[in-house]
Amino acid sequence: MTDKVHLDRPRLLHLLEAMVRIRLFEAKCVELYQAQKILGFLHLYDGEEAVSVGVIEALGPADAVVATYREHGQALARGIGMDVLMAEMLGKVEGCCRGRGGSMHIFDAKTRFYGGNAIVGGGLPLAIGVALGDKLMRRDAVTACFFGDGAAGEGEFHESLNLAALWQLPVLFVCENNLYSMGMALERAEAETDIARKAGCYTMPSEAVDGMDVVAVEAATRRALEHIRAGNGPAFLECRTYRFRAHSMFDAQSYRTREEVAAWRDKGPIVRLTRWMSETGLLHEGEYAAIEKRTKAEIEAAVAFAEAGTLEDPADLLTFVTMESVPQEAAGR
Amino acid sequence: MSDTAPMTYREACRQALIEAMEADPRVFMMGEDIGAYGGCYAVTKGLLEMFGPERIRDTPLAESGFTGAGIGAAMVGMRPIVEIMTCNFSLLALDQILNNAATIPHMSGGQFAVPLVIRMATGAGRRVAAQHSHSLEGWYAHIPGIKVVAPAVIADARHMLKSALADPNPVLIFEHVMLYNDTEPFDPSVTAVDIETAAVRREGTAVSIVTYGGSLKKCLAAADTLGEDGISAEVVDLRVLRPLDEATILGSVRKTRRCVIVDEGWRSGSISAEIGMRISEKAFFDLDAPLRRVCAAEVPIPYAPAMEDAALPQVATVVQTVREMLGRG
């Protein structure tokens, strides 16, 4: 492993496309929500794409991911098929969780994706256990655990950072600090607003990084992974980012100004990368349009797959409440 | 009965843990003071020396953290045993137990199982007042996705763990604090028990006393007293609070036509209420008398001995209740 990000043109185009896939996938989700095909809560990742892409691009297939209820970006970056993801959003049996979980609870055993967790902070202890289990089984794997700034207020945040450091577990903590936990501004919620500094108290390397810069996120991730893979225990990344849209589909956004949102939009991760690549001659004419075209085709195929899917028979309502056996794939055996 | 030797409930729990650790390298333990201290009820005494700190993991006071760690480790192939000192403290881990352990198998469409065992002490009687004495197993029995067991006899204390570890679901084991020092003959020819069925611990014809855990010996004593009066009481030990073994409960009630449920949990919204309702739904016309309950008083369990005793089901209250049901109060 290396902490160097290879900034050649194909690599940058790949990172750009990964972010555009998330952005456009979610734009389609908004349409489907308005058409009442997606129901319930829908927490959009609009503005934060560089975090999941930058971190997950640096992971390997043996590594594990624990995410939050705002996890479409992590799911797509991790390689969960857009088709089964869209089918899940539509509540279809063909969805990755048979339509049981929906937007907030994406799981995928094949890619070691341990949720989707709609309890703020609830994924952190679970990530500790995934890393502990991997360590006890002598697997060479890192668990990347995503959570927001709001989680820093939860006891589980502190319990988990302590356990990971105490037991020298291979966990990469990734705080997606978008400055608001729902409508609660960070400076109104935390006495110490420097989250990376909090984590540093738990004797692990901790770094704050510009979460709107996918290259910076990937580079910081590789530095952290090098530390973790050398057997030195956990590391912490605070990715400073911003959510362009409402907390879920609708809120009055009375907790922030239009100007603030507009200023952040102007330094959004996709705008910023395309602008820089264009200025430096790394993005050729028509390439962005080609990415969009490819992505839209993928999305249309995913929607078609999901729309053609079936609804689970309510007769199966109780299936998997208790398990008959342990699925072998999930247990990694 | 031959070849039996006396064994304490504590030792039965301990031997079960040792057997599990020796049988399967995926098994490990986490909990507060289980290692260097030897366990707050001395159940894990000596295990650190036997199995080392990687498998007998002392944890900081972080119930949610280490319970969640057990869930994650179970999801990736380990067989963790988490010990929580008392069920009052388990409330600090309730988010993990309910929102993750009980939920993820269904919510993930069956992709993941959580083969986790959580042991905890429950119940009153040790004069430790309201934050160490409650019986919350009935609450846990409310939750789909987990199994809840309450070993009341030595054989169950010795063997329920093995069945719990073999189960692909989270299993919560509630060990009543007043049982740890109990000594009973242990029959080594019994090497396994199920975690599915209730057990009739004493046969009778006039009334069914349905109970579990720490209340079982009180109910057996009450049945002895009633027997001296010529009242034949059957005592059913639930053993498993979720899923309930309806067949055994209903079978007993249909035979005796009367039932009193004895539960150290609070009455309102309790496991005793659930059992009573199921009997009402399925055996109403078999009953010769209204159902009765003997539960803990609806108070935080107090410290002063006379007050604590007054708050709990006692032999005399069970006896009196049965007599009233039979018109002999």
pLDDT tens per residue across span B90-115 = 999 999 999 999 999 999 999 999 99
**Spatial CA neighbour of B226 closest among B100, B294, B90, B323:** B323
Shared domain check, B142 and B35: yes
What is the average per-residue pLDDT within B224-235?
A: 98
Where do the domains of chain A lie? Answer: 9-316
Supply the pLDDT for residue A329: 65
Asked if the structure places residue B192 within a domain, the reply is no
Are residues A62 and A140 in contact, defined by beta-carbon separation less than 8 angstroms?
Answer: yes
Question: Domain total for chain B?
Answer: 2
**Spatial distance between the Cα atoms of A79 and A65, rounded to a whole number of angstroms:** 11
ipTM over 0.85: yes
Asked if the structure places residue B191 within a domain, the reply is no
Are residues A173 and A236 in contact, defined by beta-carbon separation less than 8 angstroms?
Answer: yes
Residue A318's alpha-carbon distances to A88, A120, B241, in angstroms, are 18, 27, 19
What is the average per-residue pLDDT within B63-79?
A: 98
What is the average per-residue pLDDT within B282-295?
A: 98
- What number of CA atoms fall less than 13 Å from residue A80's CA on the CB side? 30
User: What CATH number is associated with residue B25?
Assistant: 3.40.50.970
From first CA to last CA, the distance across chain B in angstroms is 38
Shared domain check, B152 and B285: no
Tell me: cis bond preceding B243? Omega within 30 of 0 counts: yes
Contacts of B70 in chain A (CB under 8 A): 129
Tell whether B78 lies on the interface with A, counting CB pairs under 8 A: yes
What is the average per-residue pLDDT within A113-140?
A: 97
Shared domain check, B20 and B85: yes
Tell whether A3 lies on the interface with B, counting CB pairs under 8 A: no
Supply the pLDDT for residue B1: 47
Supply the pLDDT for residue A249: 84
Of A99, A125, A329, the CB nearest to B65: A125
Shared domain check, B225 and B120: no
Asked if the structure places residue B230 within a domain, the reply is yes
Supply the pLDDT for residue A111: 97
Supply the pLDDT for residue A65: 98
The residue in chain A having the minimum alpha-carbon distance to the alpha carbon of residue B115 is A326
**Spatial CA neighbour of B242 closest among B131, B143, B109:** B143
Q: Rounded to two decimals, what is the model's pTM?
A: 0.96
pLDDT-based confidence at A155, cuts 50/70/90?
very high
Going along chain A, which residue ranges are E strands? 64-66, 143-148, 171-177, 180-181, 184-185, 206-210, 235-240
pLDDT-based confidence at B329, cuts 50/70/90?
confident
Mean per-residue pLDDT over chain B, rounded: 97
Contacts of B64 in chain A (CB under 8 A): 125, 155-156, 159
Asked if the structure places residue B193 within a domain, the reply is no
Boundary residue ending a domain (B186, B209, B240): B186
What is the average per-residue pLDDT within B132-137?
A: 95
Instruction: Name residues 228-257 of chain A within 8 A of B (Cβ).
Output: none
Shared domain check, B100 and B243: no
User: Which member of B132, B134, B159, B176 is catalytic?
Assistant: B132
Do residue A129 and residue B100 have CB atoms under 8 angstroms apart? no
pLDDT-based confidence at B4, cuts 50/70/90?
confident
Are residues A177 and A239 in contact, defined by beta-carbon separation less than 8 angstroms?
Answer: yes
The alpha carbon of B155 is separated from its chain's Cα centroid by a whole number of angstroms, namely 13
**Spatial CA neighbour of B289 closest among B248, B250, B320, B322:** B322
**Spatial distance between the Cα atoms of A91 and A39, rounded to a whole number of angstroms:** 9
Shared domain check, B305 and B243: yes
Supply the pLDDT for residue A146: 98
Supply the pLDDT for residue A252: 86
Shared domain check, B139 and B37: yes
pLDDT-based confidence at A332, cuts 50/70/90?
low
Instruction: Name residues 135-154 of chain B within 8 A of A (Cβ).
Output: 144-145, 147
pLDDT at A67 over 70: yes
User: What CATH number is associated with residue B316?
Assistant: 3.40.50.920
Are residues A7 and A54 in contact, defined by beta-carbon separation less than 8 angstroms?
Answer: no
**Spatial distance between the Cα atoms of B71 and A211, rounded to a whole number of angstroms:** 30
Supply the pLDDT for residue A7: 81
The CATH class that applies to domain A9-316 reads alpha beta
Main-chain dihedrals φ then ψ at residue A104, nearest 5 degrees: -90, -10
**Spatial distance between the Cα atoms of B71 and A21, rounded to a whole number of angstroms:** 32
* One-letter amino acid of A229: R
Supply the pLDDT for residue A330: 60
- The domain of B47 spans 5-186
For the beta carbon of residue B191, count every other beta carbon within 10 angstroms. 11
Shared domain check, B320 and B258: yes
Instruction: Tell me how far apart the 2 most distant CA atoms of chain B are, in Å.
Output: 60
Asked if the structure places residue B194 within a domain, the reply is no
Boundary residue ending a domain (B134, B159, B186): B186
Do residue A107 and residue B109 have CB atoms under 8 angstroms apart? yes
**Spatial CA neighbour of A296 closest among A9, A16, A11, A27:** A27
pLDDT at A1 over 50: no
Shared domain check, B203 and B181: no
| DSSP H or E run through B294 | strand B292-296
Q: Has B63 been annotated as catalytic? A: yes
Residue tagged 């109104």 (tokens)? A188
| DSSP H or E run through B74 | helix B63-75
Of A95, A320, A331, the CB nearest to B76: A331
Supply the pLDDT for residue A52: 98
Do residue A130 and residue B67 have CB atoms under 8 angstroms apart? no
Shared domain check, B9 and B87: yes
> From edge to edge, which strands make up the β-sheet containing B27-31?
B56-58, B27-31, B79-86, B117-122, B171-176, B147-149, B240-242
What is the average per-residue pLDDT within B203-223?
A: 98
Shared domain check, B239 and B121: no
Shared domain check, B268 and B234: yes
Asked if the structure places residue B53 within a domain, the reply is yes
* One-letter amino acid of A102: G
Instruction: Name residues 211-230 of chain A within 8 A of B (Cβ).
Output: none
- What number of CA atoms fall less than 13 Å from residue A184's CA on the CB side? 11
* Best residue in B32, B76, B148 for a mutation probing chain A (most A CBs within 10 Å): B76
**Spatial distance between the Cα atoms of A205 and A192, rounded to a whole number of angstroms:** 18
Boundary residue ending a domain (B186, B215, B250): B186
Asked if the structure places residue B250 within a domain, the reply is yes
Supply the pLDDT for residue B3: 72
Mean per-residue pLDDT over chain A, rounded: 95
Do residue A326 and residue B111 have CB atoms under 8 angstroms apart? no
**Spatial distance between the Cα atoms of B301 and A50, rounded to a whole number of angstroms:** 54
Residue tagged 């996890």 (tokens)? A71
